[in-house]
């Protein structure tokens, strides 16, 4: 089985996990939302690395894309936690 197929299957499972977290009552709203955001950022990373082929891009471009994910993820989580009551 190719790497792309495995990554695709993991992306589908991550989507199902996000859906389950959203509709399940096992965690609180804030924890579930942060978990869903983290799952979404992990999915973005795998899409960028494997489907946009940044895995084999020059180091500077890959580090820029990885840094973007961390920056945007940090901003989103901190904005959510700052506004969530």
Task: Determine the Cα angle at 67 with ends 35 and 54, to 5°.
Answer: 100
Percentage of the chain modeled with pLDDT above 70: 94
pTM here? 0.86
pLDDT tens, 6-41? Answer: 999 999 999 999 998 888 666 788 888 899 999 999
Confidence of residue 84 (pLDDT cuts 50, 70, 90): low
Q: For residues 34 and 84, what is the distance between their CA atoms, to the nearest angstrom? A: 11
């Amino acid at each position: 089985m190719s790497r792309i197929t495995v990554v695709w299957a993991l992306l589908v499972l991550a989507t199902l996990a996000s859906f389950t977290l959203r509709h399940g009552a096992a965690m609180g709203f804030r924890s579930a939302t942060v978990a869903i955001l983290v799952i979404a950022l992990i999915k973005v990373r795998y899409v960028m690395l494997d489907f946009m082929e940044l895995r084999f891009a020059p180091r500077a471009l890959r580090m820029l894309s990885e840094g973007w994910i961390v920056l945007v993820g940090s901003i989103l989580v901190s904005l959510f936690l700052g506004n969530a009551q």
